[in-house]
Amino acid sequence: MERGVPIRSVSRSIAVLQCVNRHGSLSLMEIARSVGLPYPTTFRIIQTLLHEGLVECEPSRKFYRATQLVQTLSVGYRETGNLLTRARPHMVALTRRISWPVSLVTHVGQSMMVRDSTHSETSLSFCNYEPGYTLPLLECASGHAYLAHVPDADRHSMLAGLEALERRSHMLEMFKGERLVQRIREDGYATCERNPHSAVPGKTSSIGVPIFEGSRVAGAMSLVFFASAIPMAEAVRRYVDDLKHCAATISEELTRDRQDLALQMPPGATIAPVQNQPMVMH
């Protein structure tokens, strides 16, 4: 197999399992539509996941849901660094000031994953996004903000991975070029109107800003608001400065902590990254 091309059946199986895990309970047709796979392919994948015990069929209807066995997939994983600890108080303070919820999101594989959010801290939210909720990298403001600020080589590697997985999006070609990337870098934020992949598709819009640890982007923070309540241009005018200031404060604390830790390390020792590097499956 050509180097850099993933095992497509594995990639598709992971996408199906993530879909079921994210939405809770879905029919085969809903799963196939959500992940963009043919119905027969989705059926075979679900049958395999049933055999492995990772999903189960509801007894009263043909809807499929994840089992507790999926928790074994996280054994051995440990969140490193203090990104969550540093970000939480600033996120809560920002939500109390502007009322809209914000989420802390990091890059994992081909997605952006929610690590923390303040949706439970305000009534201006349709639902509470629990840690582990994932969003497609190219279809959310946090993903756009992250992509625009990683090194160019990493960005092209991630885009190549998405292309190999046949996850087509008009944003793919836009991020291959420099115009959109440069604009996001200059503005310091990215936007996504009527988010298509939220828990309530089309009901919310978002603004995403990067969070740095030194010169390296460690994740992103996004502000989420009702799309019908305020136009994007007005939301940017009202909130983007506060959002950028909050992210800058978190970035400063992360950078200072890393510098302090570096001073305590013995000569020749290195500090492991706090965030997963872009993943290319082989």
- Across 143-202, the runs of DSSP E, i.e. the strands, are 190-192
- The pLDDT, as a whole number, for residue 280 is 33
The CATH number of residue 211's host domain is: 3.30.450.40
Select from 197, 227, 205, 206 the least CA-distant residue to 33: 197
**Residue 225 binned pLDDT confidence (cut-offs 50, 70, 90):** very high
Residues 6+ apart with CB under 8 A from 103: 114, 116, 117, 118, 119, 129, 142, 221, 222, 224
User: Which residues in 65-88 are b (16+ Cβ under 10 Å) and which e?
Assistant: ebeeebeeeeeeeeeebebbebbe
- The pLDDT, as a whole number, for residue 126 is 84
Residue 8 or residue 105, greater confidence? 105
The amino acid sitting at 161 is G
DSSP state of 1: -
Residues 60-118 pLDDT 10s: 788 998 887 887 776 555 454 589 999 999 999 999 999 999 999 999 888 899 999 99
**Residue 274 binned pLDDT confidence (cut-offs 50, 70, 90):** very low
Given a cut of 90, whether residue 9 has pLDDT beyond it is no
Instruction: Give the global pTM.
Output: 0.70
- The pLDDT, as a whole number, for residue 276 is 44
The distance from CA 142 to its chain's CA centroid, rounded to whole angstroms, is 7
151 & 243 share domain: yes
Domain with 101 in it: 83-264
Three-state SS at 63: strand
What mean pLDDT comes out for the span 209-232? 95
Query: Cα–Cα distance between 125 and 123 in angstroms, integer?
Result: 6
**Which range (39-43, 141-145, 174-178, 256-260) has the least confidence?**
256-260
Query: Cα–Cα distance between 34 and 53 in angstroms, integer?
Result: 22
Looking at the chain, the whole-number percentage of residues with pLDDT higher than 90 is 55
> What is the count of structural domains for the chain?
2
117 & 186 share domain: yes
181 & 237 share domain: yes
160 & 223 share domain: yes
Select from 79, 22, 36 the least CA-distant residue to 165: 36
